[in-house]
A = this chain, B = another copy of it.
Amino acid sequence: MQTIDPIHGPNNPTPEEVARMKVKYYGSIIELRPEKEREYRELHADVWPEVREAIAKANIRNFNIYVTEIAGKRLLVSHFEYIGSNPEADFALIGNDPTTKEKWWPLTDACQIRLPGTPEGSQWMPMEQVMHLD
């Protein structure tokens, strides 16, 4: 698991702005194809620099993915912080990175099965937050 330096481009708040803002938390879930689990783990143990940069530019921080199993289904759970002010616009930016759109997502989407009820246009199913404690 690697880390990258924070990026402070035109769409990113300064560290001082981040300290003042109310961070938003996003949790979501998707099924993992068992026969693709090894490939998925290998990809995510060393996420490509272009993909990490696109995520950071979208004001996403502390992005964790977990694996679990429920009722015989392998599942991926994702959790991240959003530190921008326009999540829809920022998340849409990620698809502007050609490496992410044309190379990374085709590989990762092939490892996943979208869950019933997932909104149109979304790969992962959002989970509803029922508690937040600072």
- Residues of B close to A71: CB separation below 8 A: 70-73
The A contact surface, by secondary structure, is strand
Interface size class, chain A: 35 or more
Q: Which of B2, B130, B133 is close to A4, meaning CB atoms less than 8 Å apart?
A: B133
Q: Is the CB of A3 within 8 A of B134?
A: yes
Q: Is the CB of A40 within 8 A of B3?
A: no
A48 vs B70: C-alpha distance when bound (angstroms): 30
CB distance from A98 to the nearest CB of B (A): 19
Supply 17 further A-B pairs (C-beta < 8 A) apart from A4-B134, A27-B77, A64-B131: A3-B134, A27-B64, A29-B68, A29-B70, A29-B77, A45-B130, A47-B133, A55-B133, A60-B133, A65-B130, A66-B130, A67-B127, A67-B128, A68-B127, A69-B117, A70-B115, A77-B127
Instruction: Enumerate 9 A-B pairs (CB-CB under 8 Å) in ascending A order.
Output: A4-B134, A27-B79, A45-B130, A64-B129, A64-B132, A65-B129, A69-B117, A70-B70, A77-B127
Residues of chain A having any CB pair with chain B under 8 Å: 1-4, 6, 23, 25, 27, 29, 40-41, 44-45, 47, 52, 55-56, 60-73, 75-77, 79, 81, 115, 117, 125, 127-134
